[in-house]
Amino acid sequence: DGKRRFQTSVEMEYADEDGDVGGTKLLQGAGLTEAGAVANVHESPLLAQGAEGRVFVSRLESIFGDVEVVCKQRFRKKYRHPDLDIKLIARRNTSEVRVMLRARKLGVRTPVLYHVDRAACCIYMEYLRPPRWSTLKSFLAQLESDIMGKKPGRDNDLKAIAKSIGCVAAKLHIGDIIHGDLTTSNILVDAERDTECLSDDRWNLALIDFGLSGQSTQNEDKAVDLYVLERAIESTHSYIAADLNKSIMEYYEQEGCPAAQKSLKSVLRRLDDVRMRGRKRDMVG
C-alpha cells in the first residue's frame, strides 16, 4: 500500500536530560500514536535535494486524520560498508535532532520533530508551509523592492527583521549552538505576526536545515556563523545589506544577561578577523 510503519523504539535515543525527545510527547500532541504513525513515502512533492539527501513533503496518519509533514532523508552511500553507512547516517541524524531540540529549549523556533526512522534514514518534522512561511531570502527581496520604491513603513520593518535575526542568532550562540549554514534560505519568516506574543518590533522566525550544525564554545565558530549570514545578505540584497547587517550585529550583542552580552561582544570582535580573512581570499581569488 506504499506505507511503512515507524520504528518508534528509537525515540529514546534522542532524549535529553528531561527524557523527552520531541518524539513521543510531540507525536501525542499532534494526535499521533505509535500504532498510528504511518508515512506515505511515495509520490511526495520534492522540496530540495543535494548530495547528502533530499527533503520532501509526506503524510502521517493520526487519530485526527492525515498530517502533512516534511521528511528529510539522507542518502545511503554505496561505496561504504552497509553496516558502517547506517551507523554514520544514524549518528548524523541523532546530532541534528539533538541540536534542534536544544535550540527549541533556548527559545529558537524550529520545526516540531515528529519522528526519526532509522531504517529509512529519515527525520519527520513539522511542515512550515507557504504562503504563511517564506524564506528570509524572498522576504528581504520584497522588502528591498519596497524600500527602493519608497513604500511607507518598510524602514521600520527592516529594523524589526534585523532585531529578530540578531536575537535568534544570539540565542543560538549563547547556548553554544553553531548552525553551520546560517543563510537567508535557512531562515523562515512568519507572515502572520502574533501581536499577543510578539511586540511590534519583532518578526517570528524559524530556523531550518541543521544538517551542518553542532555545539561549540569557540568564538571563531560563532563568528563564522555570522559571517556566512552577512555574506548571504550581501550577495542577494545589496541595496539594504549594509544597514541590515549593521543592525543585526547591534541587536545581536544586546541579547541576554550582561555576562552573555560580554561573550557576544567577543564573538563580534572575532568576526572582524574573519571578515579580514574573507577579504584577503576575495583579493587572491
Q: Which residues are catalytic?
A: 181
Element (H, E) at 217: none
Write the CA distances from 183 to 112, 140, 285, integer angstroms: 20, 12, 22
Contact 203, 143 (CB under 8 A): no
Q: Among all chains, which residue has been given the C-alpha cell 553551520?
A: 180
**Residue 15: how many CB atoms within 10 A of its CB?**
15
Q: Measuring CA to CA, how many Å separate 75 from each of 36, 88, 204?
A: 26, 11, 32
β-strand pairing of 187-190 with 214-215: unpaired
In sequence order, which residues have a C-beta less than 8 Å from that of residue 176 and are 6 or more positions away? 215, 216, 217
Rounded Cα gap, residues 163 and 262, in angstroms: 18
Cis link prior to 131 (omega < 30° from 0)? Answer: yes
Distance of CA 108 to the CA centre of its chain: 9
How far apart are the C-alpha atoms of 205 and 136, rounded to whole Å? 9
Give 216's Cβ-side CA count (13 Å radius). 15
Phi/psi region, residue 29 (left: phi>0; alpha: psi -120 to 50; beta: rest), is: alpha
